[in-house]
Amino acid sequence: MYTLDELQLIVSRCHRCGLSKTRTNVVFGEGNPKAKMIFIGEGPGFYEDKMGRPFVGKAGQLLDKMIEAIGLKREDIYIANIVKCRPPNNRNPLEEESNICIEYLRWQVKIIDPNIIVCLGAVAARNIIDKDFRITKERGIWFDRGKYSIIATYHPAALLRDQSKKGEAWEDFKNIRKRYEEADGKMEG
């Protein structure tokens, strides 16, 4: 089993798909390496590619606010993406790109060993929960997969585009906080 640092070094040198040709930086992911909860987005955007860090643009700022609103800090959790390199013009990752890169995410999840996985948006949910996942119908529902409790909610970029989704997203975040406390109790009890 790799350490997170070893895995990061491997991923930083990855050329397994075409996205490596256009990236500025690999965005491996960051946060608490022992987090109980992982948030998973789609892939780096413009600012993430420039900085090599996940969720640092406008959507990231909204995500930070939502995390703080449920009493947590970014440092408490871990944040990663389905693909580690920015798709040109922020297009959705191709199936082939996701299929290759998700192997790295699986390693990250194995190493960090969280209880809760939060999929941000349909791309993450389709790669993690079900390939036909419908975010408007199935967000907010817990899927228990082995040791992991998995949920999907709207991507923060979708909330920036459509304010009317914010109420549902807030319900999801409260629900996530509740499950987080339950997991905490189990761990400490």
Smallest separation, CB 42 to ligand URA (Å): 4
Tell me if 45 contacts ligand URA by CB under 6 A: yes
Tell me if 43 contacts ligand URA by CB under 6 A: yes
Label each residue of the chain as H, E or C: CCCHHHHHHHHHCCCCCCHHHHCCCCCCCEECCCCCEEEEECCCCHHHHHHCCCCCCHHHHHHHHHHHHCCCCHHHCEEEECCCCCCHHHCCCCHHHHHHHHHHHHHHHHHHCCCEEEEECHHHHHHHCCCCCCHHHHCCCCEEECCEEEEEECCHHHHHHCHHHHHHHHHHHHHHHHHHHHHHHHHHC
Q: How far apart are CA 45 and CA 55, in angstroms?
A: 8
Smallest separation, CB 165 to ligand URA (Å): 16
Tell me if 37 contacts ligand URA by CB under 6 A: no
Q: Give whichever of 90 and 186 is closer to ligand URA, judged by the CB atom.
A: 90
Tell me if 78 contacts ligand URA by CB under 6 A: no
Smallest separation, CB 72 to ligand URA (Å): 18
Binding mask 4-23 for ligand URA (x = CB under 6 A): --------------------
Q: Which of 30, 42, 49, 97 touches ligand URA by CB under 6 A?
A: 42
Length, in residues, of the chain = 189
Tell me if 29 contacts ligand URA by CB under 6 A: no
Tell me if 44 contacts ligand URA by CB under 6 A: yes
Smallest separation, CB 120 to ligand URA (Å): 6
For ligand URA, the binding residues in 58-77 under the rule CB under 6 A are: 59-60
Smallest separation, CB 41 to ligand URA (Å): 3
Q: Which one-letter amino acid corresponds to residue 186?
A: K
Per CB under 6 A, residues contacting ligand URA are 27, 41-45, 48, 54-55, 57, 59-60, 81
